[in-house]
Structure 1
Amino acid sequence: MDNTLYDYSPIVSRPKLTWPDGARLAFYVGLNIEHYEIDKPSTSIFPGTAALAPDPLNYGWRDYALRVGIWRIIETLDRLKLPATVLLNSDCCRFHPQVIEAGRDRGWAWLAHGKNNSIFQAGMTVDEERAYLTEVVGTIAEATGQEVKGWLGPALTETFETPRLLRELGLTYLLDWCADDQPFPLNIPGMISVPYSIELNDVTMFLGKSLSGEQFYQMVVDQFDQLYADGEQTGRVMALCLHPFIISQPFRHKYLVKALEYIAGHEGVWFTTADDIASHYAGLL
Structure 2
Amino acid sequence: MSGTYPRDLIGYAGHPPNPAWPGDARIAVSIVLNVEEGGEYSILHGDDHAEYVLTDSGVSTPLMGARDLNVESAFNYGSRTGFWNVMRLLRQRSVQATIYAVGMALERNPRAAAEIRGSGFDVVCHGYRWIDYHGVPEAVERAHIAQNVAAVTAAVGRAPIGWYTGRPSPNTRRLVVEHGGFLYDCDAYDDDLPYWTEVADKPHLILPYSLDNNDARLNRGGDFAGSDDFFAYCRDAFDYLHREGGDGRPRMMSIGLHSRLIGRPGRIGGLARLLDHIQRHEGVWLTGRDAIARHWIARHPPC
TM-score when normalising by structure 1: 0.92
Distance in 2 separating the partners of 1:110 and 1:138: 12
Paired residues in the alignment total: 282
Q: Does the Cα contact within 8 Å between 2:133 and 2:167 map onto a contact in 1?
A: yes
Q: Does 1:184 align with 2:195?
A: yes
Match of 1:224 among 238, 241, 244: 238
Distance in 2 separating the partners of 1:6 and 1:279: 24
Distance in 2 separating the partners of 1:223 and 1:210: 15
Deviates more, 1:175-184 or 1:38-47: 38-47
Q: Does 1:80 align with 2:104?
A: no
Distance in 1 separating the partners of 2:32 and 2:297: 20
Distance in 2 separating the partners of 1:100 and 1:5: 37
Q: Which residue of 1 aligns with 2:284?
A: 269
Match of 1:161 among 151, 168, 171: 171
Summarize the Cα distance change of 1:220–1:124 in structure 2 as closer, same or farther, 3 Å threshold.
same
- Cα RMSD (Å): 2.0
CA displacement at 1:49 relative to structure 2: 7.8
Match of 1:24 among 3, 23, 26: 26
CA displacement at 1:280 relative to structure 2: 0.7
Gap runs ≥5 in structure 1: none
Q: Which runs of 4+ in 1 moved over 4 A?
A: none
Match of 1:147 among 144, 159, 174: 159
> 1:134-177 CA deviation, whole Å, 9 max, x = no partner?
12212211222122111111xx2222322122122211211111
Please show how residues 1-285 of structure 1 align to structure 2 within 5 Å. Answer: 4=6, 8-34=10-36, 35=38, 36-39=40-43, 40-43=50-53, 44-45=55-56, 46-47=58-59, 50-51=62-63, 53-117=66-130, 119-153=131-165, 156-169=166-179, 170-188=181-199, 189-208=202-221, 209-232=223-246, 233-283=248-298, 284-285=300-301
Distance in 2 separating the partners of 1:235 and 1:61: 38
Summarize the Cα distance change of 1:246–1:94 in structure 2 as closer, same or farther, 3 Å threshold.
same
Secondary structure of 1:187's aligned partner: strand
Distance in 2 separating the partners of 1:218 and 1:262: 11
Percentage of identical aligned residues: 27
CA displacement at 1:279 relative to structure 2: 1.0
Summarize the Cα distance change of 1:265–1:49 in structure 2 as closer, same or farther, 3 Å threshold.
same
CA displacement at 1:272 relative to structure 2: 0.4
- Which amino acid is 1:108 matched to? F
- Which amino acid is 1:179 matched to? D
Q: Does the Cα contact within 8 Å between 1:6 and 1:187 map onto a contact in 2?
A: no
Distance in 1 separating the partners of 2:256 and 2:12: 25
> 1:104-141 CA deviation, whole Å, 9 max, x = no partner?
11111111111221x33222343332222112212211
Secondary structure of 2:198's aligned partner: coil
TM-score when normalising by structure 2: 0.87
Secondary structure of 2:140's aligned partner: helix
Summarize the Cα distance change of 1:48–1:273 in structure 2 as closer, same or farther, 3 Å threshold.
closer
CA displacement at 1:37 relative to structure 2: 4.0
User: Could you say which structure has the higher helix fraction?
Assistant: 1
